[in-house]
Structure 1
Amino acid sequence: MSILSSRTSSRSVTETVNGSHKFVIKGYSLAKGMGVGKHIASETFTVGGYQWAIYFYPDGKNPEDNSAYVSVFIALASEGTDVRALFELTLLDQSPNCKHKVHSHFDRSLESGPYTLKYRGSMWGYKRFFKRAQLEASSFLKDDCLKINCTVGVVVSSIDCSKLTTIHVPESDIGSHFGMLLENEEGSDVTFSVGGERFHAHKLVMAARSTAFETEFFNSMEEDDRDVVVTDMEPKVFKALLHFIYRDTLIEDEEFFMSSSSFLPSISETFAAKLLAAAEKYDLPRLKLMCESVLCKDISIDSVAYILALADRYHATELKAICLQFSAENLVGEFVYFPRKYSQLLLSL
């Protein structure tokens, strides 16, 4: 009886979709004097699914504090709400020195984060981009021409959903492969004689699954000793034991899952109880828990004392705890009238 578990994961990825646009302004001297707040706009360009435009104000954007400066802004030119982006505006030096004048929001993104544009027409930029007198005397202006480069990085977040590109990986079939190894007996190097029946197996597999078999094969037995006699187990129980060791599952046998109520008071003679004893002998804790799970389903007022005794004998701690809990909740009156029947429970409590 296997317990299936599921593990899932997802990943949120936040990154920028970047794009650049170069805006060349020819005839600067003719544009100058067009008036404060008047601008020259570039063609629109698309970055991150939104349209953008560069606005150049040769006489400044506002009269009160920047009329002596040229102003440059990047504007959202399409419909959008709360568009988050990073920006960089660069005035290109047209001399061989290439000492460009750069205003970059990318450099400050860790401190201030992306800038949010609320609606179409929202802008980011500099009212005092460059002092007009200095600009006109610099190598940024050449042949009455200015060159402005704008880079936009639109911030996008998405869930990295691997479902769209998943390659299906089937459940592990290692148990079936090892099971075929057991059935075919290929490469077997040890034989168990149990109640007149012989079972062929592999020492390495047995030792890997059970510390008891590891000790028996590699610390006690002679290397050429290929025959092991098991005297305290029925063949069908040993077969179920091998099935678990190779396949990691319980054997499909109706008798194993049969209710023990018909066997009372000899629960210890049931298939599940005998396999529990085998699991304890050969130190197979997972098999023990599987057997405990089967026996747990048979706990009742009539059977709890016998199952508790079984759990105590084979150190089945999970099963024992459930028996004691069941007894505490259901058998208060029974103790009074049938103390001898529940003596094991009385001692455990």
Structure 2
Amino acid sequence: MLPNAVSIASIDDVCSMFSSVPYLAPRSEEYSATWTAVDLLPPPPAGCSCSPAVSAQAKFSLIDQATGEPEPSHVRGTTGSQEFTAKGFGFAKFIKRAWLDKSTCFKDDCFTIRCDVVVYKQIKHSVEERRVQSPSSSGVVVVPPSNLNSQIGDLLASKETADVTFQVGGEVFAAHRCILAARSPVFKAELFISEMKESRDTTVIRVDDMEAKVFGDLLCFIYTDMLPNNVPRMTRQEEVAMAQHLLVAADRYNLDRLKLICEEKLCKLMDVSCVATILTLAEQHNCHGLKKACFQFLGSPWTLNNAMATEGFEHLERSCTSVFKELFSKVSAL
């Protein structure tokens, strides 16, 4: 039995940036009796107490020992690539111990977690390789990577030349009409085309039915085409809720790429406790891929029976009758 907070180093040093793959028991007494956590930590270089930032993707999969395949309800990972630092990456509530004890993933007092890591190495060129060769010039011309998203993001952070203010849940956000209109047809209509005098003439616009944190992340995506990466670690339930709220906001403002990012994240976070609410959301906001993923997840009798015991399933039956019937039609055909 692995003691609390003791790591297991990977045997095969397939990537020097991640030669240590620790699986940790719960980090606090709050979770110790209920949950098992999992973390991926890059080891510090020799002679250094800190780890360099590494751009990578990571995925944890709990293996079903009866089939040798990943258990669909316990596959979690990053959404695209992200910067890994000494803090690492992981989930505070990865496996519920009561569930694990009764599952086929736990056998002979052992369970297996597979960790898949994809590291994006930065290609460095020498000055000679970057030299622009021409008969008339021997100068060195180096073209740096684009930092347009960073520059526009700085504009949002500095609030310079901002010409519109949004009030959301007690917080105030300064923004730029032209950038919002260029990125979102809904903002364009509200800020420039709409005949609503409030939207065109006032410098303070109130946004209802949205949390301030969600609107802040929405603005970050509009300005940088990325979600903020300096967010504090959240529980699985908090991650699901945030992805759901962002999906609704993305649909509201016609931000298709952000909507797909949220769909992808919900597919990875899906489990029996939230699949019904995710399916309801997918139906209400025309997320066809997410809806298909929910149907696939609910394809096994065990998963379906456990999902039916949740409040979300009762809400699905009341609010989306057609989807409820479609689900059971597909399940009965299996």
Structure with bigger RCO (C-alpha 8 Å, 6+ apart) = 1
As a proportion of its length, which structure holds more strand?
A: 1
